[in-house]
Amino acid sequence: MASFRFAVSVMPKEGILDPQGRAVETSLPHLGVDSVHGVRVGRRVELSVDAADASEARAVVERLAGELFANPLIEAWSIEGPVPARAEGAATGAVPVEAAR
């Protein structure tokens, strides 16, 4: 049994109103930035899965992504990983999967 680390990114689907993204965008002029558009705000879930192999672990993540992390009616998701697991909470902001790229 090994541990596999994944990250699931969940974004509002195309065409779904994203009021958070819109709010961020409308605040940008206050920072003196007027060159940015198309802001979308989503969610990122990181998790470790104990499994016999990577494909078994990924199957668990895929199930969770579709049933729990995202609502398929309004959200799209993508899965990154697996990458070798690190101690949970060890990284401060820096995401293992990002570091592994």
Binding site for another protein (CB under 8 A): 16-17, 19-20, 23, 68-69, 71, 73-74
Q: In the bound complex, what is the minimum distance in angstroms from residue 97's beta carbon to another protein?
A: 20
| Cβ(46)–Cβ(83) below 8 Å | no
Nearer to another protein, 23 or 100 (CB): 23
Starting at the edge strand that comes first in sequence, how are the strands of the sheet with 43-51 ordered? Answer: 43-51, 2-12, 75-84
Nearer to another protein, 66 or 84 (CB): 66
Measured distance CA(34)–CA(12) in Å, rounded: 23
Nearer to another protein, 17 or 90 (CB): 17
User: Quick check: helix, strand or coil at residue 72?
Assistant: coil
Q: In the bound complex, what is the minimum distance in angstroms from residue 20's beta carbon to another protein?
A: 7
Q: In the bound complex, what is the minimum distance in angstroms from residue 53's beta carbon to another protein?
A: 27
